[in-house]
């Protein structure tokens, strides 16, 4: 990465559950809604929870029906060993989740709640190919399923 491509952040608005920031990359500015900084790691600044100021990363346990809980913002990893139907709980405006989804040696069917708005695909993705990794990012702008905005990107 060239020095000019390293993002810089300028905070505009800070609340207990989110930070609205201006992100500058290679001279271009964009707004980004960021989670707040996390605590120092359990064993100090570089402990188990990550370096000071990092946001925690957790592993989701695979289940055929998997509830995405908006009670806390966060970053998650999910290893699929079967097809999955996503549901949500505790939706509230301003909450966001990012999930790294990794398929095992089989193609897996993905089912999402109806009403989600998809930004970079025409409709909800139906599957993930074997041994591929995707990222699902979802943001709640209210309390209903129709208030969820989702982005899906998968390894090619």
pLDDT at 38: 45
Condensed to tens digits (0 to 9), the pLDDT of residues 68-85 reads 999 987 899 999 999 999
Contacts of 40 (CB under 8 A, 6+ apart): 47, 49, 51, 52, 53
**How many Å apart are CA 80 and CA 62, to the nearest integer?**
6
The residue among 55, 70, 132, 122 whose CA lies nearest residue 100 is 132
The C-alpha R_g of the chain, in whole angstroms, comes to 17
Condensed to tens digits (0 to 9), the pLDDT of residues 91-129 reads 999 999 999 999 999 999 999 999 999 998 899 999 999
Condensed to tens digits (0 to 9), the pLDDT of residues 31-56 reads 555 555 444 444 444 444 455 555 56
Residue 64, pLDDT above cutoff 80 = yes
Give the DSSP H or E segment for 117.
Answer: strand 117-118
Q: Say what the pTM is.
A: 0.67
């Amino acid at each position: 990465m060239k020095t000019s491509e390293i993002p810089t952040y300028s905070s505009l608005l800070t609340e207990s559950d989110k930070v609205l920031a201006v992100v500058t990359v290679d001279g271009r500015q964009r707004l980004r809604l960021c989670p707040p900084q996390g605590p120092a790691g359990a064993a100090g600044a570089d402990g188990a929870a990550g370096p000071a100021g990092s946001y925690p990363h957790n592993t989701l346990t695979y289940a055929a029906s998997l509830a995405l809980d908006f009670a806390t913002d966060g970053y998650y990893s999910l290893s699929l060993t079967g097809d999955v139907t996503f549901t949500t709980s505790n939706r509230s405006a301003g909450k966001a989740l990012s999930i790294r989804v990794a398929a095992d040696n089989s193609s897996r069917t993905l089912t999402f709640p109806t009403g989600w708005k998809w930004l970079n695909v025409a409709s909800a993705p139906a599957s993930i190919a074997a041994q591929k990794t995707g990222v699902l990012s979802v943001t709640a702008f209210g309390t209903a399923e129709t208030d969820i905005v989702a982005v899906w990107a998968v390894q090619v």
